[in-house]
Structure 1
Amino acid sequence: MAKILGIGNVVLDIVLTVPHHPLEDEEIRATQKQTTSGGNASNSLHVLTQLGHQTALCATLAADGEAKQLLSNLRARKIDTQHIQTFIKGRTPTSFITLNAQNGHRTIVHFRDLPELSFEHFAKIEIEEYDWLHFEGRNLDNLSGMLNIAKTFLSHQPISLEVEKPREGIEALFPQVNLIIFSHHYAKAKGFIDGQSLLNAIKKTVKHANLVCTWGAKGVWYSTPNDSVHHLPAEPVMPIVDTLGAGDTFNAGLIDGLVKEMSLSQAVTHANSLAAKKCRQPGLDNLLLDNHATPLANIKQLSNAKTLVTPAKDGAPSVVLIKFDDTVKAYENNCPHQNVPLNEAFKIDVNPFEKTLKCSVHEAFLI
């Protein structure tokens, strides 16, 4: 297990699942709505936590109610929030996302009215306590100083930089890090037709970093300082369920592999497979669940005010699920007194204040 510090962004994601991508002036009804924490660094840390690492986030938040919701979600995901910088002025950054049910692709509209992380706040962190630092390539006014501090005070810990978009002056920072992860958005904006041409150009000036460029369905290109550029095809995914967070998942898998002392080739393969797995499921929760196991339900379907009853299947009994604080409790759907399903007569009565369930037949309370 490694201690990993992510420096970047955390936002409130409002995800609407729609039957198709909306047209201009079209009114369309969403089939599902989900509100959760998002942002590149936050998402990657969520995956790294599931991979067994101890993670912490350095980002900014507002002082509004939505920020409290984000903090609660981050802590539920076991991401350390002690390095969050709070601003009184400004509002919680929000991403409004439409998820196309036809192909799993997403469209994002981002709103931000909040200052970026300050250099002074970052400088107070005991970064020597961490085994890896991962930076989003944003906040260029302060990022250079943060990287200078990291290079000064870290003795052996690797530093990675995600370059998602072209930003003025970001290329000057490339020599200061050990791993650079480029997106195809950056490559295309710079006029490159694929990851190989981008990395070959970068290698002329960046001599000591591992380089990676992801390109969605076209796969990923990568290179060590002393090797040529290699290509790994994308792992086939059919059907694609949800691409939101796939890139963040790849980044987490890459860091996880390198922390575990895999070669760059092995780490890229590991990350590629993990990203494909993400595209096969909704959201980032339970990413490491056994492929052969069938989930009973998504935790976001549950609440502490009502139960969810799963049907009996393949010899397994029907199960009653209910959210209990930050966990889920499960009961076999059977009244021990009458030997009938708990919801035999009508739905199971829930008292969320006393935290009890009431059998619809025998009328006994179950704790």
Structure 2
Amino acid sequence: MDVVTLGETMVLFTPESSSLIKYSHTFSRKFGGAETNVAIGLTRLGHQAGWISRVGKDEFGKAMLAFVRGEGVDVSQVKTDETAPTGLYFKEVRSGDNVKVQYYRKGSAASQMTPDDIDESYIKKAKYLHITGITPALSDSCYETVLRAVNIAKENNIKVIFDPNLRKKLWSEEKARRVLLELAGLSDIILPGFEEGKFMFDEKDPEKLGELFLKEGASVVILKDGPRGAYYFTKDAHALVPGFPMKTVVDPVGAGDGFAAGFISGLLDELPLNEAVRRANAVGALATQVEGDFEGLADREELERLMAGTDGDDVDR
């Protein structure tokens, strides 16, 4: 197994008859969740990924497992909860830079995860453990579950990759800041967005943010800065790797997860750090060109076309 991740994936409904939920009478059903977005992004690029979670014993849970399994992700560690439902959310895409999300996840099956859901032998098979700041926000037991997974990884010299993925709707800012900093201190590689860095450290300068994250204990920090690209920081070097600005953005949700998948793919292919970041920028950019959280995640052919500059007229050169 190349990468193991854990967290909640939900059923996603988006309006069809109107861009606004309150005027829409029909909705399309899809799925979305940061961790499965990353896992699917990795399988599309030819890597092995496994997902740990819970789903409800309902038709949504069955459909979700079938879909994620169909994308090549191992779902053997996903448990079916007999009493709690699969979580839902609605996404309203008003424009490429105006997206509203409403969650219905309180008491969901995934929020009931406990440390007992973690199989140590499963994580020990992986090269990387991928975690986000969403999962510990779901419940105290989810927080303990993430810590259990991280401790297993660290005990077995498995690299921990942490994407803060700040969701202010899920918890207080004080608790979010405390837990995100705690997880940053336990991680080997951190993938914050620029706004997340400002939230965590009350600092706006990219270079200072990189230094602050490194002081937390990580060996590599990748600071995402939207279409501009991303900075990488190690104890020996740092630089901005330019992004792939697109002329239009259809749906920005999932771009950060695409970035994470692209970067981890680069690590698995043993690319130099700057090339891994460049791949991440490309996968993230392509993810914005299609409506849906995972639909725009690239395969190798699409990725190579964009990176070679032969992807038609979509790139704003």
Question: Could you say whether these structures have the same fold, taking a TM-score greater than 0.5 normalized by the shorter chain as the test?
Answer: yes
Q: Distance in 2 between matches of 1:246 and 1:103?
A: 12
Q: Distance in 1 between matches of 2:206 and 2:229?
A: 9
1:147 and 2:163 equivalent?
no
Q: Secondary structure at the match of 2:252?
A: coil
Greater fraction of residues in helix: 2
Q: CA RMSD in A?
A: 2.6
CA distance 1:143–1:27, shift in 2 (3 Å): closer
Q: Distance in 1 between matches of 2:16 and 2:235?
A: 42
Query: Are the counterparts in 2 of residues 195 and 220 from structure 1 also a CA contact under 8 Å?
Result: no
Q: Distance in 1 between matches of 2:96 and 2:9?
A: 26
- The AA in structure 1 aligned to 2:208 is S
Q: Distance in 2 between matches of 1:18 and 1:256?
A: 38
1:247 and 2:285 equivalent?
no
1:103 and 2:96 equivalent?
yes
How many residues matched?
283
Query: Are the counterparts in 2 of residues 37 and 74 from structure 1 also a CA contact under 8 Å?
Result: no
Residues 101-135 of structure 1: CA deviation (Å, up to 9, x unaligned): x4364221112122342111214443222222211
Using the size of structure 2 for normalisation, the TM-score is 0.80
Q: Distance in 2 between matches of 1:28 and 1:193?
A: 39
Q: Write the mapping of 1:13-32 to structure 2, written as runs, cut at 5 A.
A: 13-16=12-15, 22=20, 27-29=22-24
CA displacement at 1:254 relative to structure 2: 0.5
Query: Are the counterparts in 2 of residues 7 and 135 from structure 1 also a CA contact under 8 Å?
Result: yes
| Other-structure match for 2:33 | 39
Q: Distance in 2 between matches of 1:217 and 1:187?
A: 17
Work out which of the two has the higher radius of gyration on C-alpha atoms and give 1 or 2. Answer: 1
Q: Distance in 2 between matches of 1:195 and 1:264?
A: 18
Q: Distance in 2 between matches of 1:252 and 1:50?
A: 10
Q: Which runs of 4+ in 1 moved over 6 A?
A: none
Using the size of structure 1 for normalisation, the TM-score is 0.70
Which of 67, 71, 92 is the equivalent residue of 1:73? Answer: 67
Q: Distance in 2 between matches of 1:84 and 1:98?
A: 28
Residues 74-99 of structure 1: CA deviation (Å, up to 9, x unaligned): 11212111101232222211121012
Query: Are the counterparts in 1 of residues 129 and 150 from structure 2 also a CA contact under 8 Å?
Result: no
Q: Distance in 2 between matches of 1:62 and 1:192?
A: 41
- Which runs of 5 or more residues in structure 2 are unaligned? 137-142, 167-175, 313-317
1:10 and 2:9 equivalent?
yes
- The AA in structure 2 aligned to 1:14 is F
- Which runs of 5 or more residues in structure 1 are unaligned? 295-367
1:85 and 2:104 equivalent?
no
Q: Write the mapping of 1:1-367 to structure 2, written as runs, cut at 5 A.
A: 3-16=2-15, 22=20, 27-29=22-24, 33-100=27-94, 102-103=95-96, 105-112=98-105, 113-114=107-108, 115-137=111-133, 138-139=135-136, 140-152=143-155, 154-155=156-157, 157-165=158-166, 166-190=176-200, 191-206=202-217, 208-227=218-237, 229-283=238-292, 284-285=294-295, 287-288=298-299, 290=302
